Amino acid sequence: MPEPGSKKYDTRRARLRKDAESSGVSDQDANRAANQELQEGEDRRSRGPRTERGRGPKGERPENAE
């Protein structure tokens, strides 16, 4: 699942908004519903840094991270 802020997330959100608007939902409610649908669920949370560099400076990393 795409993470908030990514291009894939934004395109899915826009598609969901457009579908909701075409079915008669107001702009604000369509935006809220699209965000809520994309952010629900355990498997849709951020997975954290994926590389060594993403974990920060080597001297500041927690010892048991990995």
Q: Give 2-27 pLDDT, tens digit per residue.
A: 677 788 888 988 999 999 889 888 88
Q: Give 19-50 pLDDT, tens digit per residue.
A: 988 988 888 889 888 888 887 754 555 566 66
Q: What is the pTM of this model?
A: 0.55
Q: Counting beta carbons within 10 angstroms of the beta carbon of residue 32, is it exposed (0 to 12), middle (13 to 18) or buried (19 or more)? A: middle
Residue 21 to residues 1, 25, 26, 27, 38: CA-CA distances in angstroms?
23, 5, 6, 6, 16
